[in-house]
C-alpha cells in the first residue's frame, strides 16, 4: 500500500497545509494473511524515520521546482525529484503556490503513466479547492489553511484517486 504526503507551500516557502494518507485501494499483491491490523486504508504507513523528514524532503525539492517551472508552460510539473525511496511530484498554481506530493511506490502494480495521470488530476482538483479557499474574504494568501472542510475535501479527493 503506497503512502502519500501532500503539502501546499506558499509564495514565501512557508507551509500552508499538509496531510498524510495512504492508498485506499487494496493492494493486489497482498493476501489477507499478510495484511496486518496496522494497514488501515487511508492511514499513512511511512516508517517513523521517514515521517520525520517528509517536510524536509518537500522543502528540499523547492529549488528543483523553481528551476523546472521556467522550462515548461504546464502547471503540473510531474515527477521532479526522488529521495530516500520517495518520489516527489509538483504542481504550480497561477499565484506561484506549490503543491508537493511525496509518495513511496511500494506495491504499486499499476503503470507509471496511469499514476502520473491520477496525480495530475488530483492536483487539478486540489487546485480547485485552493481557489475556493482564496475566494473566502477572511483568508489571506500565505496564511495556514485550517478549515476542517478543506481538510475533509482533500481527504475525499485522496480517497477518489488513490
Residue 23 has pLDDT above 70, yes or no: yes
3-state SS of 34-45 is CCCCCCCCCCCC
Residue 20: all three cell numbers together: 498524510
Q: What pLDDT band is residue 97 in, cutting at 50, 70 and 90?
A: very high
Domain assignments of the chain as residue spans, ordered by start = 3-161
The CATH code of the domain at 3-161 is 3.30.450.70
3-state SS of 6-27 is EEEECCCCCEEEEEEEECCCCC
- Helix axis angle for 148-161 and 112-134, nearest 10°, is 160
Residue 76 has pLDDT above 50, yes or no: yes
Strand residues in the chain grouped as ranges (E): 3-9, 15-22, 76-83, 86-92, 98-103
For residue 102, the number of C-alpha atoms closer than 13 Å in the C-beta half-sphere is 28
Mean of pLDDT values over 76-101? 93
Q: Is 159 exposed, middle or buried (0-12, 13-18, 19+ CB in 10 A)?
A: middle
Mean of pLDDT values over 70-95? 91
Residue 40 has pLDDT above 60, yes or no: no
What share of the chain in percent tops pLDDT 70?
A: 81
How far the first Cα of the chain sits from its last, in Å, is 10
- 105-159 pLDDT, tens digit per residue, is 765 555 566 688 999 999 999 999 999 999 999 999 999 999 999 999 999 999 9
Q: How far is CA 160 from CA 22, 62, 113, 156, in A?
A: 12, 27, 18, 6
Amino acid at each position: 500500500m503506497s503512502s502519500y504526503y501532500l503539502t501546499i507551500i506558499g509564495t514565501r516557502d512557508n507551509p500552508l497545509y499538509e496531510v498524510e494518507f495512504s492508498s485506499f485501494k487494496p493492494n493486489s499483491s497482498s493476501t489477507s494473511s499478510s495484511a496486518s491490523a496496522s494497514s488501515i486504508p487511508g492511514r499513512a504507513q511511512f516508517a517513523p524515520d521517514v515521517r520525520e523528514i517528509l517536510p524536509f524532503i518537500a522543502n528540499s525539492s523547492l529549488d528543483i521546482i523553481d528551476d523546472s517551472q521556467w522550462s515548461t508552460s504546464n502547471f503540473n510539473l510531474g515527477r521532479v525529484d526522488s529521495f530516500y525511496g520517495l518520489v516527489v511530484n509538483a504542481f504550480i498554481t497561477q499565484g506561484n503556490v506549490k503543491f508537493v506530493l511525496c509518495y513511496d511506490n511500494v506495491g504499486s502494480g499499476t503503470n507509471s503513466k496511469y499514476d502520473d495521470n491520477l496525480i495530475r488530476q488530483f492536483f487539478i482538483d486540489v487546485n480547485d479547492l485552493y481557489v475556493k479557499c482564496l475566494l473566502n474574504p477572511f483568508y489571506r494568501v500565505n496564511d495556514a489553511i485550517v478549515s476542517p472542510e478543506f481538510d475533509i475535501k482533500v481527504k475525499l479527493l485522496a480517497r477518489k484517486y488513490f
